Structure 1
Amino acid sequence: MKIITITGNVKHVITLDPSVWIFDDRKFELDHFFSNIRDVQNKPRDLEIDRERLIREGTVSPPTLRSEKQYEKQKLLDGTFAIRLEPFLKNAEVADSAIKCLFKVKDEVLTVSFAKAKDAILCFSKNGKPLTEDGPVHVYFADGSNRKNPIKHLKEIQVI
């Protein structure tokens, strides 16, 4: 089990355990997020609204309770999921004077502006499996600038 800590210019040091995020309602499918990159503020709830609209329009048939449960279970087994970093920074109560974040990885430290780090996305599951080899998370920036080369082997996020 690998954990990540948020330290530095914060009121509370936070320890993150990505292995439990699969049960978190804030998770979303990473592929869907990047397919809608024009609307970075797209929330997971919007997906449910779009689906309901398609059912009402008759584009797709409404699911039965049984098929819905089976679909959700299969999605968990096959999906690539992520969660935003922002709520965790909020819980850590970052000082107003914060200007950057240091992402401490295997053998180096990557410096990112606090604004860009706050919008970061933490991918914790790929094709239904935890990121055990190069994880525990992959860090993507919301603008998609590092989509092909995410930050891997993250150990600590230090707010400066």
Structure 2
Amino acid sequence: MIVPITGKVNYSITLDPTVWIFDDRKIKFEEAFNQPLPASSKNNELEEASQRWERAINPPVNKGITRLEGEEILKHSYVMPIKDFIRNAEIQSDAVNAILVINDDQQDTITITLKELEDSYLQFAMNGKPLKDGPVYFFYQDGSNKDNPIKNVKKIIIN
């Protein structure tokens, strides 16, 4: 149930969607396509370096939840913006696109642009439970595939 991000990145990382249910960055599925993602600050390298330093000094800590909040969490479907994970992997400057691997033998793939990847969502829970044909579903930010997600994403290769 993990999703590696590999290829032309400075840091290969492994996403574990099973723990995202408690992550403060998750978004309810029904609200995800109604709000824009924060604008990319790619042009401001000093700001990005400052944010990395701040995360290193003060890592994000998810606040505790009450029993009632925990019960409420288990009623909804959620997506996670992938932007923070991509930023942490640090895509190399010569990368051109991203390949979504949708099975274990890496025969079925879908190629998307890096911008589409950065501005996308990964669904990890439906009605508070992990996806049966996951580990994650891929959604474009604009919701164009909201009714037909890319399912069974097993790996992301930056190419």
TM over 0.5: yes
Amino acid at match of 1:92: A
Q: Deviations over 1:107-150 (max 9, x none)?
A: 4110001101111101101011111x210111101011111111
Match of 2:10 in 1: 11
1:43-54 equivalences under 5 Å are: none
Match of 1:79 in 2: 76
Superposition deviation, residue 97 in structure 1: 2.4
Q: Which has the larger radius of gyration?
A: 1
Superposition deviation, residue 15 in structure 1: 0.7
Give the 3-state SS of the residue equivalent to 1:74 in structure 2.
Answer: helix
Tell me the number of residue pairs that the alignment of Structure 1 and Structure 2 aligns. Answer: 130
Match of 2:118 in 1: 118
The CA distance in 2 between the partners of 1:81 and 1:25, in whole Å, is: 11
Superposition deviation, residue 96 in structure 1: 2.1
Match of 2:157 in 1: 158
The CA distance in 1 between the partners of 2:26 and 2:74, in whole Å, is: 14
Return the structure number with greater helix share: 1
Q: Structure 1 stretches of 5 or more lacking a match? A: 43-67
Superposition deviation, residue 72 in structure 1: 2.2
Superposition deviation, residue 30 in structure 1: 1.2
The CA distance in 1 between the partners of 2:21 and 2:120, in whole Å, is: 18
The CA distance in 1 between the partners of 2:134 and 2:21, in whole Å, is: 15
The CA distance in 1 between the partners of 2:31 and 2:117, in whole Å, is: 20
Match of 1:52 in 2: none
Match of 2:98 in 1: 101
Amino acid at match of 1:41: L
Match of 2:86 in 1: 89
Q: Deviations over 1:28-71 (max 9, x none)?
A: 1111122x1xx4237xxxxxxxxxxxxxxxxxxxxxxxxx9465
- Do the aligned partners of 2:32 and 2:79 also contact (CA within 8 Å) in 1? no
The CA distance in 2 between the partners of 1:70 and 1:15, in whole Å, is: 29
Q: Deviations over 1:58-115 (max 9, x none)?
A: xxxxxxxxxx946523321101111111111111111122221000002411000110
